[in-house]
């Protein structure tokens, strides 16, 4: 999620239908510039080089969210358009074992781990340092545990039932993170660390 205010002006965004390094490219309706989702930056058009400020957000299920925030207001699906808003158009894509374009699984430069291209990871950036948490590893960990990124303590939260995760600091404030496929994260951030590639000293959070 991004702050739509850039240099005091509000922008609105849509999906361009294009990909950059196999990841989503957005466009803004004000200047029709193209924006890379993972770079948080305009890559073509009048706004090229402009940055988007990332806002902390939580990608989870309605069941989990409603349990945490029962007073939540929800947008009505009665929009006047005949559309199934419960349909996930990417379900088959998520279930693919490997995208056809890959001859071998991508590998991060600083990691000895080779993950499946379609392995989902929780990507985290702290002070410029990148770290990926594979879902396959998170499923074997406590649902809340501590780690350190760029020398700072972070708390990793992962709900095994819904397979959704998020990150907070010691005070419980959300830290921006993103759930995505390994092939996209490693392509943008080849110097990323990968959690679980060596014995860890992290302790469960009680």
Work out the pLDDT band at 102, boundaries 50, 70, 90: low
Of 90, 188, 93, the C-alpha closest to 132 is 188
Confidence of residue 40 (pLDDT cuts 50, 70, 90): very high
Least confident among 25-34, 35-44, 173-182: 173-182
DSSP H/E element including 159:
strand 152-159
Average pLDDT taken over every residue of the chain = 85
What's the average model confidence in pLDDT over 38-56?
A: 94
CA distance 25 to 18: 6
Q: Is the pLDDT of residue 135 over 90?
A: yes
Question: Domain ranges in the chain?
Answer: 5-44, 104-194
Are 126 and 189 in contact, with CB atoms under 8 Å apart? Answer: no
For residue 151 the two structure tokens come to 């020398």
pLDDT value of position 156 = 96
Query: pLDDT above 90 covers what percent of the chain?
Result: 51
Is pTM beyond 0.85 here? no
Per-residue pLDDT, 203: 47
The beta strands (E) that lie in 9-143 are given as 9-10, 13-20, 23-28, 34-36, 41-44, 120-126, 129-134
| 3-state class (DSSP) for residue 26 | strand
Which residues make beta-bridge pairs with 126? 129
Pair 132, 182: CB distance under 8 Å: yes
Task: Give the C-alpha separation, 104 to 119, whole Å.
Answer: 13
Question: What DSSP state is assigned to residue 130?
Answer: E
């Amino acid at each position: 999620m991004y702050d739509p205010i850039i240099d005091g002006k509000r922008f609105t965004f849509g999906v361009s239908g294009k990909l950059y390094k196999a990841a989503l490219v957005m466009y803004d309706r004000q200047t029709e510039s193209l924006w890379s989702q993972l770079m948080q930056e305009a890559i073509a058009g009048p706004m090229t080089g402009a940055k988007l400020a990332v806002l902390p957000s939580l990608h989870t299920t309605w069941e989990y969210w409603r349990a945490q925030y029962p007073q939540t207001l929800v947008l009505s699906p009665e929009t006047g358009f005949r559309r199934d808003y419960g349909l996930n158009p990417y379900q088959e894509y998520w279930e693919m074992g490997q995208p056809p374009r890959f001859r071998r699984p991508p590998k991060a430069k600083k990691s000895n781990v080779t993950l499946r291209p379609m392995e989902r990871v929780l990507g985290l950036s702290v002070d410029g340092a990148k770290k990926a948490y594979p879902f396959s590893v998170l499923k074997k960990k406590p649902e809340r545990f501590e780690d350190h990124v760029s020398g700072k303590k972070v708390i990793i939260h992962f709900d095994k039932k819904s397979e959704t995760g998020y990150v907070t600091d010691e005070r419980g404030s959300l830290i921006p993170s993103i759930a995505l496929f390994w092939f996209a994260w490693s392509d943008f951030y080849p110097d990323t660390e990968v959690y679980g590639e060596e014995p860890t000293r992290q302790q469960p959070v009680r």
